[in-house]
Amino acid sequence: MDSLRGFDELLKRVQQDGFAILPGVLSAQQVDAILRELDRVWQSHPDGAMRSQSGDVYGARNLLRQWPEVADVWKQPPLPELLAHILGPDFGLVRVLYFDKPPEQTWALPWHKDMTIAVRDNVLPSPHFAKPTRKAGVPHMEASREVLEQMITARIHLDDVTVQNGPLKVLPGSHLSGTEMALGDVDPHDILVQRGDVLLIRPLVAHCSNRSHPDTTRHRRILHLEFAGMRELPDGYAWHDFIQ
């Protein structure tokens, strides 16, 4: 960070708004290296990605399994220090997803909050977890507010994001209402960033995204990394992955 004041302002934004943008965390060369590695992963694990009819990859769920080295791509200043301040020094990486909006296969998402986590076993009784599902073969559960408040996501942008390619829209402060989806009177904020920028966002921030503009040629490729400050989950549950 340029200064302690700037660091404190970022932490304050995460606390009050539920999100903050970190500009220029990764260089253009680092982003290019990630994209080359992703191309290799899609070729070596063709069944591990979600593809459009034209063959474009628009999503992947088990990126830690397909590309274990992705667990290190986020270790660029100031991310490690920020995450330690937000989650505590014993935080771990618990899930990595990949998203794209290919021009020929764009999509939209309605307003929602990210309440699902990947676990080893999703059949144990617990008041902290509900709605068991399996996503790409991995057990998932909807977690309680107490669990989700100890998490944060880092979204690494591999493309510039403009109004043309379906930017994420967020409601500042909506994480403070917990799991409730009351949208209130706050105006949505578009996350417009450059490649290499990182968005830190709490899972309980309400967010959505529209389809890309029909005439755009832009992709919107993102690495979505979820971190948790608690190694142990309640009631015998365990993270599917917890990497420090």
For strand 138-143 and strand 116-118, is the pairing parallel, antiparallel, or unpaired? antiparallel
How many domains in the chain? 1
Size of the chain in residues: 244
Residue 63 belongs to some domain of the structure: no
Q: Dihedrals φ, ψ of 76, to 5°?
A: -125, 135
pLDDT tens digits, 87-108: 999 999 999 999 999 888 888 9
Domain residues for the domain of 183 are 4-50+69-154+167-236
The count of C-alpha atoms lying within 13 angstroms of the C-alpha of 5, restricted to the half-sphere facing its C-beta, is 0
* In-domain check, residue 160: no
| 146 falls within a domain | yes
Is residue 207 domain-resident? yes
Confidence class for position 182, pLDDT limits 50, 70, 90: confident
Question: Is residue 137 in a domain?
Answer: yes
pLDDT category, 4, cuts 50, 70, 90?
low
Please write the tens of the pLDDT for every residue from 66-95.
999 999 999 999 999 999 999 999 999 999
Q: Which of helix, strand or coil describes residue 27?
A: coil
Report if residue 23 sits inside a domain.
yes
In a domain, 57, yes or no: no
Average pLDDT over residues 155-172: 96
- Let me know the angle formed at the C-alpha of 174 by 183 and 150, rounded to the nearest 5 degrees: 145
Which H or E run includes 133? strand 129-135
Q: What is the CATH number of the domain that holds 132?
A: 2.60.120.620
Asked whether residue 190 is domain-assigned, the answer is: yes
